[in-house]
A = this chain, B = another copy of it.
């Protein structure tokens, strides 16, 4: 019996040690991949490049990520966590309902300008990413945008903005900031100063367009 208990313990320990190592390499791959993506962008991002960085063959990566998409989505997932955090923080700052809407928009714009490559993939090239549900969670990722809908709803309930269809108004606001980020990212024409001015005009447009009285 002693033997059995002892060997059982050893077996467990061995198993968990191996699991830890496995997870460690997974993280190594993920970090190398995220680094490569940040440096080279989507175009320069290949399984072979990632493999070379960590000193393994490309095929090894497939033991930890089912395919290139899975690896890419793991990178985007990290970015999405930061995205949600920044928007949530922004929503918490202002007390005035209209100002809160503006703050959310500015946080959104700020994220897009700071992580253009990630933004491009998250919200443009791989729109399906938003539809997926994150591991260990029930709700799909796009529910982060309910933050904006709630802010619009609150402002409307408080009589600060004109009544109207909450979802559609929220979508229009989303389109506005998304458009600003996209223009800033995609067009060399839009330098930082011009984007800044356009953002100011957008804020005025939104405030004048929504506000009651």
Bound complex: CA of A186 vs CA of B177, how far in Å? 15
Binds B, one of A1-9, A20-28, A90-98, A124-132: A124-132
Of residues 182 through 205 on chain A, the ones whose CB sits less than 8 Å from some CB of chain B are 182-183, 185-190, 194, 197-202, 204-205
Contact residue among B171, B185, B199, B206 (Cβ-Cβ distance under 8 Å from A209): B206
Q: So how many copies of this chain end up in the complex?
A: 2
Contact residue among B130, B169, B172, B210 (Cβ-Cβ distance under 8 Å from A189):
B130
From 127 to 180 in chain A, residues with beta carbon under 8 angstroms from any chain B beta carbon are 127-128, 130-131, 142, 162, 164-165, 167-169, 171-180
- With the chains together, A194 CA to B174 CA distance in Å? 13
Q: Please indicate the chain B residues that have their CB under 8 angstroms from the CB of A209 in the complex.
A: 204-210
A172 CB contact (under 8 Å) in B169, B205, B210? B205
27 pairs, A vs B, C-beta closer than 8 Å: A124-B124, A124-B182, A124-B186, A127-B187, A130-B189, A142-B189, A162-B208, A167-B194, A168-B194, A168-B200, A171-B183, A171-B190, A172-B176, A172-B198, A172-B201, A173-B205, A174-B183, A175-B180, A175-B182, A176-B202, A178-B182, A182-B182, A204-B209, A205-B206, A205-B209, A206-B209, A209-B210
Interface residues of A (CB under 8 A from B): 123-125, 127-128, 130-131, 142, 162, 164-165, 167-169, 171-180, 182-183, 185-190, 194, 197-202, 204-210
Name 20 extra pairs, CB < 8 A, besides A127-B187, A168-B200, A175-B179: A124-B186, A127-B186, A130-B187, A131-B187, A142-B189, A168-B197, A171-B194, A171-B197, A172-B202, A173-B205, A175-B176, A176-B202, A177-B179, A178-B179, A178-B183, A179-B179, A204-B209, A205-B206, A208-B210, A209-B210
